[in-house]
Structure 1
Amino acid sequence: MMKTTPSGISEQSGQVVQTGRISPSYPAWIFDDSPIPDPHGKGERAVAFLKALRHPKSTLPGRQFQLDRWQERIIRKVYGDTKPDGTRRIKTVFALIPRGNRKTTLGAALAMLHLGPERIPGSQVVSSAVDRDQARIALEEMKGVIGAHPRTAEAFQIQDTKNRIVHRKSSAFYRAMSADAATAHGRTPVFALVDELHAWKKRDLWDAIKTGLVKTPGSLLVVTTTAGIGHENIAHEMYKYASAVASGAIVDDAFLPVLFEADEDEDWRDEAVWRRVNPGLSCVPPYPDIDGMRQMVREAEHRPADREMFRQLHLNVWLDGAANPEWSLDVWDENAGQLDLTALEGRPAWIGVDLGPETEQTIR
């Protein structure tokens, strides 16, 4: 008997069989029920802690924190796969996840873990984003979780004006930071969540976080982001490294790539592609809203800029060109070939010239 999962992977007699078009870097282990090492029980401890939490928006009985299967598998991998001496094996997680798949909730859960069972007395836990509003999103999620249960409300002190949450007994604290590197240098976080790295214009805060993490044994860096535009940025550097690790071109057991992405030339209108790339569509109820995605695609059929936005944010296709193209490159390509100037006589015309350095040199 064969069953096909929403991710596009089929399971038959305990064997995982890839169906359709699945990239070698696709994280099939998230859906295939393969064993995840947990020699010291730290993966199970992490999952049990999160399931004991409450969330104000949860529809589960008792407002239990909703930890979906794909999220649970990632957490078991990150925290359960330890070295023989019990120390952390995975030091960096790069999670490329499309918009609407609850990355923020997952990131807030990870931060809570480091104020919970992963807590070190006096330790620093940080989340960071490109601006203040984005940085506070994870903080607001954590505030909701803490306030949803009397025990967590008693255990933690929320210092809202300082963007901080403090564990009262151990003085371990969490702080949300925006891209102001002056506030980051000198800090030694044991856990750092970096949100939407593709939107970061500068690398000052990134460098401060990276150098701070190496000061503490057992530290963990988690990057959650959608795809970006262009190749000259920190996010694309990390993405290329993650792709190389996922494909086996680079061997790095301390780096965990989680890449949910469509190939550049795949049909962006194909719902089978959507389901493979958006892990939340495997859940009940599914997310993001697939009817909303269908409407976006209907409109994007006639608006190239919307199409590129959909491919970038909902299919994680890393864009090379403009974010808001005036026309589709398919239309541009259709007009390739020899131009008959005589057929244009008497008609108004416009000409565009690339005056970059190479063109200027040719003109001279």
Structure 2
Amino acid sequence: MIRNAPLAHPSALSLAQLSARAREIFRHIVDSYLASGDPVGSRNLARLLPMTLSPASVRNVMQDLEELGLIYAPHTSAGRLPTELGLRFFVDSMLQIGDVEENERARIAAEVEAASKDHDFPGVLAEATSLLSGLTRVAGVVVASKDNVRLKQIDFVRLEPERALVILVADDGSVENRVIPVARDLPASALTQAANYLNARVSGRTIAEARENIEGSRRAAQMELDELAARIVEAGLATWAGAMGESRQLIVRGQAHLLEDLTAAVDLERVRLLFADLETKTEVIDLLERAEQGEGVRIFIGSENKLFSLSGSSMIAAPLRDSERRIIGALGVIGPTRINYARIVPMVDYTARVVARVIGG
């Protein structure tokens, strides 16, 4: 069984930290594990590598990889195996995803479409799951979306300038990761503020309920803002700038007069606070909507697989959506950590897309 890594999350590592020889040695260790499950030693690695290295040099590099938490020795004087951290790092940074073969695409499409003529939605899912299991030689799994899943925590992690990872932790301990698009100019602090704002309000609510609650609060704040602003504008102390539906701001005139009118000054400060509050709520609602629509196949390795609590397994799943793009379930497979990720990831993705197309009409 693959061992837990002693170090932090793989996002703390990058390919740039590994030399070319370290990457090559690490790749061969993982490839050997995925092919046979057996540890590989320095002498065998020295013979397999495309570069000329002595077993002693290979051992030195393996020591470095072990200190990074990417590999470990199952017992004294043995070869090395990847840790969970190492396998996650390989999948995220080094895995070369293949494509679904044409004959497999045709079979998947034909069988799913045939199932849709004889079965309702659960029946189509059952057939698709059996099909995936047969093609991948591991267990198929389907999860129906539960509208009443209550959230415990939500976090946002910037992955790239225009992509972020949403981490949704449910009350039942299950964890789901969704990749969402974000504006390139959205500061990292905005993601942190959104997470803090949500975690103070989201506990015990579904994501839809949280969004509805914040939207209701935003509408109330907007009404209050409109009333206050109208009062200040009517008094001739300020004017609105910007057309309806666009970003608006209050242009203040006669600030000295405002200072003389305590009520107007208090109103203006409240307007300023409401503007800030509305901006926060709008950003949070936008992030929640994106989280509901996050794309991509999810890969859970070892102890990351909270749904089944099997540290020796991996799960690969893709979301299923209805015609309105709402997530209604997930389709995938579960198997040993040394499953063929390069082949299975695109197969799960393609099957989920075919199912979504069929049930969406």
Q: TM-score, normalised by structure 1?
A: 0.23
Q: TM-score, normalised by structure 2?
A: 0.23
Q: Which structure: greater helix fraction? A: 2
Greater gyration radius: 2
